[in-house]
Structure 1
Amino acid sequence: MSTLRPLVRLSPFTSPLQRRNPKILLGGSHQPTLLRYLDGWPKRKGRPHAFLIQFVDNWQPLANFANDQFDLAVIQAPQPEHLEEVVRQLVRIARQGLITRG
């Protein structure tokens, strides 16, 4: 019997955080669960950070957001037929991303 693990895809930062207050996109229907993924992110290095968080529903298209608009995006896993497009958009709009089963 194999153990199920969440699908995780993290794309590395190419440079350190530029913003004092990181912009974060949380996409999914259960906002408290999505907020838990932010615990400990980013490494604060002695400086306080206030997150600028934007929530979107599962059905809201990510294509409406600009390139590199977010420092981090946490998205609940889409239906298999939409996965490729969601990953493509996630990589485009966020410097770091996480796709999780919710």
Structure 2
Amino acid sequence: MNHPRPLVRLTPLAGQLSRRNPKILLGGSHQPTLLRYLDGWPRRQSGPHAFLIQFIDQQQSLEHFTNDQFDLAVVQAPSAERRDEVIRHLTRIARQGLITRS
């Protein structure tokens, strides 16, 4: 039986950011906790910059976002029924993603 090899990326995605102000999606009900996940997230080295943050409710669908719209997405763990849908859209819309239990 042949098993396809997983795609492995050896360089950090954040090191390849082309935007001066990274776009970040935070999805969940407790915004202060979600913001803490940004501590230490890499920023561009040269010149002024700011995160462009968009908050969504945990139950809101990610379907309407475009491919690679965000540099980083942090979402609270979805229910078992929504898990596959959320992961599919999260990998489509964000260059980096984190699913948290917060």
TM value normalised by structure 2? 0.82
Runs of 4+ in 1 over 3 A off after TM superposition: 43-48
Inter-partner Cα distance in structure 2 for 1:15 and 1:45: 10
Residue of structure 2 equivalent to 1:38: 38
SS of equivalent residue, structure 1 residue 41: coil
CA distance in 2 between counterparts of 1:41 and 1:95 reads: 13
Query: Deviation string for 1:22-69 (max 9, x for gaps)?
Result: 000000000000000000111443544300000000111000100000
Task: Point out the more displaced range, 49-58 or 12-21.
Answer: 12-21
Amino acid at match of 1:30: H
Structure 1 gaps of 5+ residues are: 1-10
CA distance in 2, matches of 1:84, 1:72: 19
Length-normalised TM-score, structure 1:
0.82
SS at 2:73 equivalent: strand
Distance 1:81 1:22 in 2: 31
Higher relative CO (Cα under 8 Å, sequence separation at least 6) belongs to 1
Tell me the amino acid that sits aligned with residue 54 of structure 2. Answer: Q
Rg larger in 1 or in 2? 2
Alignment RMSD, CA only?
1.9
Aligned length: 92
C-alpha distance in structure 1 between counterparts of 2:85 and 2:16, whole Å: 27
Q: Which residue of 2 aligns with 1:96?
A: 96
Asked whether 1:55 is paired with 2:51, we answer no
The equivalent of 1:16 in structure 2 is: 16
CA distance in 2, matches of 1:50, 1:14: 15
Which amino acid in the other structure matches residue 81 of structure 2?
Answer: E
Shift of 1:75: 0.2
Structure with greater strand percent: 2
Unaligned 5+ segments in structure 2 are 1-8
Q: What SS class does the counterpart of residue 68 from structure 2 fall into? A: coil
Equivalent-residue separation in structure 2 for 1:14 and 1:33 (angstroms): 21
